[in-house]
Amino acid sequence: MPSSQGPVVEFINRHQIPITRNLLATLYILDIVGSRYLPLVHKYALRFLHLQYYSDQGGSSYYDIGINDAYHVVYWVVLLTFMRAVLMQFLFDPIAKHCFLVLSRKARVRFAEQSWLVVYYCFSFALGLYLYYHLAYWNNIDNIFIGWPHYKMTALFKKYYLISIAFWLHQLVTLNIEERRKDYVQMFFHHIVTCSLVIGSYYYYYNRIGNLILNIMDSVDILLSTAKILKYSSYTRACDAMFGLFVVAWVVLRHGVYNYLFYIAWHRSMELMLGSECVAGIVQKRCWNSYIIDGFLSLLGGLQIISLVWLYMIGKVILKVIRGQNAEDVRSDTEDTDEEVSKPDNSSK
């Protein structure tokens, strides 16, 4: 199949490993050499490699945010792209070929992509849940907004949030450099809205509700990507069972819990953040007004609309399963034919 991308984009896609490897190696070398001979270069290398805006004022140590955090995000975009390409080519593709006997090259690529997503989402969900459990809004939803702006972050929480920003920017990059699929438009808008939410929530210190929403999204996506892996491995019954579990989680979390958080943000956030409104003529670290709140609510609503569109597509798949057909991938390329994913029959597994 001829590439739908331009020559430059196709070159970047085909050389993801050497390009990102060379960028990372250059940065590490500049950090080492700069620490001895080039202090200005070393100063900028540190911004890429380490968290910025550490403070120990007031007897407590914490991290704040600032424009230099963008360096660390760029570093993680490159690192995640490198990790994804390496794991897909040298680990997940061989596993698909030799362990699950996936014959089609396209199916192995899909298998590898979803395996990478399972690895990332499991890491992100586990870390996000750990942070949620150890912070003030565990079992107290009001603390999402009480005391805002929440500008004092631990190193682990700040690292988690910056990696989350980098991951979704990285997803946007890979979506546009790799072969476009039939759901490109939906995925593009989903990634744009998600990037806007994670970046905006970081800047405005709405990181607590951001953590909860990321946990909701990650937990459901683990199940979806696992179902896709089972599909490409031709484990039909296991795929159908995982798909059923995914549907339940999708409805409960993305349309139940998510909309509950949306309701709290819509009806209670202003009440809980009294004292932090924007006041003309006063310099404030962060403040809120109706326009800022409406902007975030619009993005949250937009993400829910996209989820509803996908729920409609999921419903179509459910009808197929009820009629005796197999569950199919509803948020990714569905052009794989039976021959492309063919392998020894595992339909009884």
Bridge partner list, 307: none
CB contact at 8 A, 113 and 331 = no
pLDDT of residue 2: 47
pLDDT of residue 335: 47
Q: How far is it, in rounded angstroms, from Cα 259 to Cα 262? A: 5
**Phi-psi group of 104: left, alpha or beta (phi > 0 → left; psi -120 to 50 → alpha; rest → beta):** beta
CB contact at 8 A, 13 and 30 = no
The amino acid at 200: G
The values of phi and psi at residue 288, to 5°, are -130, 150
Contacts of 192 (CB under 8 A, 6+ apart): 172
Cα angle: 170, vertex 12, 46; to 5 degrees: 55
> How do the pLDDT tens digits run along the chain, 349 residues long?
445 668 889 999 999 999 999 999 999 999 999 999 999 999 999 999 999 999 988 778 999 999 999 999 999 999 999 999 999 999 999 999 999 999 999 999 999 999 999 999 999 999 999 999 999 999 999 999 999 999 999 999 999 999 999 999 999 999 999 888 888 998 999 999 999 999 999 999 999 999 999 999 999 999 999 999 999 999 989 998 999 999 999 999 999 999 999 999 999 999 999 989 999 989 999 999 999 999 999 999 999 999 999 999 999 888 887 887 766 655 554 444 444 444 555 655 6
Q: With the CA atoms of 60, 63, 64 and 68 taken in that order, what torsion angle do they form, in degrees rounded to the nearest 10?
A: 150
Q: How far is it, in rounded angstroms, from Cα 113 to Cα 165? A: 19
Q: How far is it, in rounded angstroms, from Cα 145 to Cα 151? A: 12
Name the residue ranges covered by the structural domains of the chain. Answer: 92-322
pLDDT of residue 183: 84
Q: How far is it, in rounded angstroms, from Cα 230 to Cα 110? A: 11
DSSP classification of residue 160: H
pLDDT of residue 181: 84
pLDDT of residue 345: 56
The length of the chain in residues reads 349
pLDDT of residue 337: 43
